[in-house]
Amino acid sequence: MAQTAAAVAALGLTKPNVVDPLQIIFAAIDIEPSDWEGDVLAVAVTEKDVCRSPGSSFENAVLKRLDSQFGGLLSEASAEEDFSGKAGQLVVLRLQGQGFKRLGLIGLGWSAPFTAAACRGLGESFASVAKSARAGSAALALASPGGIHGEFKPNASAAIASGTVLGLYEDNRYRSESSKVHLKRVDLIGFGYGPEVDSKLELASHVSSGVIFGKDLVNSPANVLTPVVLAGEASKIASTYSDVFTATILDEERCRELKMGSYLAVAAASANPPRFIHLCYKPPGGNVKRKLAIVGKGLTFDSGGYNIKVGAVCSIELMKWDMGGSAAVFGAAKALGQIKPPGVQVHFIVAACENMISGTGMRPGDIVTASNGKTIEVDNTDAEGRLTLADSLVYACKQGVDKIIDLATLTGFCRVALGPSIAGILTPSDELHEEVAAASEVSGEKLWRLPLEESYWETMKSGVADMLNTGAIPQGGVITAALFLKQFVHEKVQWMHIDIAGPVWSHKNRSATGFGVSTMVEWVLRNSS
């Protein structure tokens, strides 16, 4: 007998603490860094900026003025700490009798950052300075403001703001004791100012809240975040932004009526019932010029089924992250509920379930039938994500959309191919690839296009059904997985698959990254009027 949602969510007597969201006000101002007043002033410097004249004074005007203001303390400290402005270097000085209590230097390397990813990294370094100082107010200045091109400054400001927020954020929902974030105000100096920059900073705030929501979803353990609870979190988005969102939650019986045999086969072994989740965003005013769908894999836990995950490399203990695609979907939905872009309708679709083991479970060799009538021979129960996505993609096409992007922690092969920081993308549409590549340039998330080699489909043919769910040989596993998904997308719909198995999780931080949220938000904005 299936457990109730309330009982499942409290399994192990664990419930998340209620944590207040980060509330930080960002402002871009026009002021000399030496005239700023607050707790911590951090100056981002390149190796060129730290160069000194024969008299040992800084050649850079900003550093020279600050050093003069402090009676040479800055040059003395940088020499003692062997600070040369290399990327990742930090020096923090405690001051007295000044307008600010601490001064920090953050190394950028040989030149200032010209990419969103580098600026986001700068924001994270800045956050560590503010956090260690327990600062309530902080400012970040560029020693050489001219080092960043004027047209990039608004996006640079947004990326720094996002990096700062994400660098400060800690998931304390499951700790008995937690630290407090003191920072409330951040001023950006030298990154431009005015309405365009202010608009980008506001956008960064909305996107960051979506990224944090996505991180929280992935970080939540499977004994707390069940498919029913995930559906509840999605419904909260719809109720919070009810002016633009509606929610449709399908239970197992309704999915059976829609003939979602591929999805339901994966869910069959779990005591936690599945939930098919559909959020629909409709713009204010109702004028729709383009219809999009973002589909996410939603395995709240993946044991591998009868092909159980074994060995250290399988990371069964981390399989709560197998709903990272759905986290990106709902994180983007939350951000867009705040931004409210015009002219575009967006369907957010997730088939949520667990892949477990029981007498009712799917077995290797079983044949399942997807909602478009195609049959699949299951030769590996650990290739379950694509089975849930199959019915999700069919459902998405029935919404009459023009374009579909799916995000999934689909294959270990992609992690092997591209490592922990880069997601693989596969699509037959060059136009869609260009759109997403442009969006990722703004988001700073790294994507790499892999070939959708049609000849590999030969390895996916079954002797008794329309197709296998994995190929006969493991080589090219990222590609064959995408070719499998392609069978469930209408040929008139532009479609892209994004495998986020690598960047969904930071092993260094032992935490989710929220990967995919920022790129999806930017992609939707580029499709809005």
309 is catalytic: yes
DSSP for residue 52: B
Q: Give the span between the Cα atoms of 403 and 250, in whole angstroms.
A: 23
The secondary structure of 441-490, three-state, reads HHHCCEEEECCCCHHHHHHHCCCCCCEECCCCCCCCHHHHHHHHHHCCCC
Do residues 399 and 345 make contact, with C-beta atoms less than 8 angstroms apart?
no
Catalytic residue among 291, 386, 415, 486: 386
Backbone angles phi, psi at 113, to 5 degrees: -70, 135
Catalytic residue among 102, 153, 291, 309: 309
Name the packing angle between helices 195-219 and 153-168 (round to 10°).
30
Q: Give the span between the Cα atoms of 59 and 29, in whole angstroms.
A: 24
185 is catalytic: no
Do residues 447 and 523 make contact, with C-beta atoms less than 8 angstroms apart?
no
Residue 347, C-beta contacts closer than 8 angstroms, at least 6 positions apart: 278, 279, 280, 281, 291, 292, 293, 294, 396, 399, 401
Do residues 328 and 517 make contact, with C-beta atoms less than 8 angstroms apart?
yes
Do residues 399 and 488 make contact, with C-beta atoms less than 8 angstroms apart?
no
Q: Which residue has the tokens 């994995």?
A: 470
Annotated active-site positions, please? Answer: 309, 386
